[in-house]
Chains A and B, each alone.
Chain A
Amino acid sequence: MNASPGNFDELLTSAGTPRHPALSDGLASLSAEMLAERQRHAEEELLEKGITFAVYGHNDGNEKVWPFDVVPRPIAWDEWQIIESGLKQRIRALNLFLDDVYGDGKIMKDGVVPEELVKTAKTYRPECQGFRPPGGVWTHVVGTDLVRNHDGTIYVLEDNLRCPSGVSYVLENREIMKRVLPEVFYGSIIASIEDYPERLLETLLKTAPPHISAPTAVVLTPGICNSAYFEHSFLAQQMGVELVSGSDLFVDDEDMVWMKTTRGPQRVDVIYRRIDDDFIDPEVFRADSMLGVPGLMRAYRSGNVTLANAPGTGVADDKAVYQYVPEIIRYYLSEDAILKNVPTYLCSVKSDRDYVLSHLHELVVKPTNESGGYGIMMGPQASQKEREDCAELIRKDPRNYIAQPMLTLSTVPTVINQTLAPRHVDLRPFILYGEDVWVLPGGLTRVALKEGSMIVNSSQGGGSKDTWVLLKN
């Protein structure tokens, strides 16, 4: 198979030669038919192991087997070093930014980031003003989305600083790969990822309220119907902590958090919450939330419990604030950003807005506060009507939209109908921040299974691949 012209393929050069000779020995020995056979094994195994995700509005119990492709996505060691240091830099700067936004607001007073932009972000939480979480750690778990454009440049597409999901699939994809393609693992040139649960537990315990000697951590899930329920359950199991729903917890008059056990109440010190800010505490945020714990913010603000990630982090992954991240890095760290931002037009700025409205056919328009690929308008592929509707939305609420040029995501060969075909991918590495910043080598590679499509979200028919950071021999 050759890479298509104009595309960057992660496995093959445009001349069709392998980019990663160390890897290709193992992989090249497998024909397309054999890969398709292994693909079938992998799918059977995923079904039997019950590795699923829920799709809202999908039939058959709302559960779908996790879509997985056996052809891995490799990353060369040298390139990974750059990505890793770039991610660490970004996470440090964004945490300093959050500390500042909810603290003295220096960066706004110095005019580096407009205060107006920050305070009008839907994810800005005035309730968090004046509070500093233990160690100044706001984003314990981050899943940053990276893409490679056809010219080979890697860009940060989104910083997901709230409740990023996908890491359980990274770990499960690796387990499946070891079983269906064991020959490639002999000699082990691939960075291991299996210590993630241990690192996550360490991160949670290290950021517990400082006066607790042996903290108890739990994972808080919205419940079995949530699209990422498998992951919540998986992480709790792997860390050996309780998976709780909101109704399993309560906050007492002294602002302590307890879980309801068969032997009465038990104290909880750290909550890895996989519920959005809006739903965690009906006393403070959405009053109609049935998922949260009344009084949780009281307990949090009293310093009796750590919430990971901290409430309010969404302001730093607002897609309009994103535009300022290189400036934010320079402001706090006096360094240039290692990883590039995609050029972004803020519709709240008049000149940008005018440009966007007259170039809708070549731009991607995104709401500033959505995730999961919802609400995105792909200019080049949209109909005239869709573009007009989008223009209307932008005029009504310019602060809520940004636009970016359409990137051509890099491809990886993928098993499609028993044969290999190039499909576009992105990459979501996972970053933990407890005592220090740590990056899981690799991450979740998502792949758009439809030919030519750039939509990789699993909620919209995307698949996944194992990601191999190739160690140097």
Chain B
Amino acid sequence: MLCRVAESLFWMSRYLERAENQARFIDVTSNIALGYRGRELDLWSSLLHAGGDVETFKETYSAPTQENVIRYLLFDPKNQNSVVSCLAAARENARSIRENLTTPMWEVVNQFYLRVRKAASESNRAIRQPHGVLEQIKRSAHQVLGVIQATWSRGEAWHFSSLGYHLERADKTSRILDVKYFILLPDPMHVGSQVDVVQWAALLESTSALEMYRREYGRIEPAKVVDFLMLNTRFPRSMRFCVRDAESSIRAISGTPMHSFSNPAEQLVAQLNAKLNYARATDVIGNGLHQFVDDFQSQLNGIGAAVAESFFQVNMNTGRGMQSQRSFMR
């Protein structure tokens, strides 16, 4: 597969996943806002902190009101992580490698983009009542995933896409956990108080995790929620699940067996996977969840850079030795 194509597949998938998560972020925050006792501005600015968007936000907007933050995260074309920008970037990547996608995949990505663009053209209504738009974004994102599952051969292209999806999803689940944990549980002593359950349920719901959590653990307890979103091996949005899938995609691409590595991407992803395999939620909380998540995110960034180095900027040695490669490639 062409390096350029691999890179575009990777980024197309990251942007699609990012758009969906942006919608989830907004959704959980508006859910929490309904019963929130603190200041509206604190709640919504926490969302900006989670995305690392505070500085660029300040360039255009005065205060982090609900309306401003939603506009910024959903529709602001100047914000490169807004849903509108993510969809434009995902579609542009898809368009540049359209021949590597199946026709239904291209069409569903294009339709997703057109829907969001239409919503952006009626943004005032969408911002006053964001629920409908957010639902539509999530549903469209799932539609893309469904078409990928149903129509795309599990070849190299699929693995680069899957890698992009899982790295992005791992990052976003960790962020949603981080910011909400901070808001909901500023002091570990508050564990168990009455209001928590409603808010933690809202958090789980925003990652579509509430029902799955209930089946697994029943009652809502912060440590178990952390365990579920961070370390669960069956829930597809958990950090560990995503890192595990990222590792298997990298290994499928390079053909290196488990417990060994042939490039920096494999080394780093396997290290992170091992760390999660042997972690315990109560230890993580005891040692500081925020720090753990912070480290996790920088390790993910390291993996992203290593993927680029290992697969997108491959050193092309010319001359002798290539002739034998030729038959191998076929």
Interface residues, chain A, CB within 8 Å of chain B? 47-50, 214, 216, 224, 229, 233-234, 236-237, 242-245, 247-248, 250, 252-254, 256, 258-267
Contacts and interface: CB of A to CB of B under 8 A. Distances in A.
A261 B2 contact: yes
Interface of B: 1-6, 92, 95-101, 103, 106-107, 110-111, 114, 156, 253, 311-312, 314, 316-319, 322, 325-326, 329-330
Contacts of A237: 98-101, 103
B319 A261 contact: no
Contact of B4 (A48, A234, A248, A266): A248
22 contacts: A47-B114, A48-B107, A48-B114, A50-B107, A224-B95, A236-B99, A237-B100, A242-B99, A252-B318, A254-B319, A258-B322, A259-B2, A261-B1, A261-B2, A261-B329, A262-B3, A262-B311, A264-B325, A265-B322, A265-B325, A266-B325, A267-B322
B271 to A, nearest CB: 22
B318 A250 contact: yes
Given A47-B114, A260-B314, 14 more contacts: A48-B111, A49-B107, A50-B106, A233-B95, A233-B98, A237-B101, A242-B2, A243-B97, A248-B3, A248-B4, A259-B2, A263-B1, A263-B329, A264-B317
Contacts of B326: 266-267
Nearest to A48: B111
B99 A233 contact: yes
A251 to B, nearest CB: 9
Residue with the highest number of chain B CB atoms closer than 10 Å, among A47, A49, A264: A264
Contacts of A259: 2
Nearest to B329: A266
A261 B316 CA distance: 9
A214 B327 CA distance: 10
Contacts of B95: 50, 224, 229, 233
B308 to A, nearest CB: 11
Contact of B2 (A234, A244, A252): A244
A174 to B, nearest CB: 15
A252 B321 CA distance: 12
B319 A262 contact: no
A294 B303 CA distance: 34
B99 A234 contact: yes
Contacts of A242: 2, 5, 99
Contacts of B106: 50
Nearest to B5: A242
Nearest to B322: A265
A374 to B, nearest CB: 26
A265 B2 contact: no
Contacts of B319: 252-254
Contact of A258 (B103, B253, B316): B316
B318 A253 contact: yes
Residue with the highest number of chain B CB atoms closer than 10 Å, among A229, A243, A253: A243
A224 B253 CA distance: 27
Contacts of A229: 95
A244 to B, nearest CB: 6
A249 B136 CA distance: 41
Nearest to B91: A50
A48 B95 CA distance: 13
A248 to B, nearest CB: 5
Nearest to A50: B110
Contacts of A243: 97, 99
Per CB-CB distance, the 4 closest pairs between chain A and chain B, nearest first, are A237-B99, A252-B318, A236-B99, A50-B110
Contacts of B1: 261-263
B29 to A, nearest CB: 31
A247 B92 contact: no
Residue with the highest number of chain B CB atoms closer than 10 Å, among A48, A49, A265: A265
B317 A262 contact: no
A371 to B, nearest CB: 25
B251 to A, nearest CB: 14
A313 to B, nearest CB: 25
A248 B319 CA distance: 17
Given A49-B110, A252-B322, A260 B316 contact: yes
A229 B6 CA distance: 19
Contacts of A260: 2-4, 314, 316
A262 B316 contact: no
A233 B92 CA distance: 13
Contacts of B311: 262
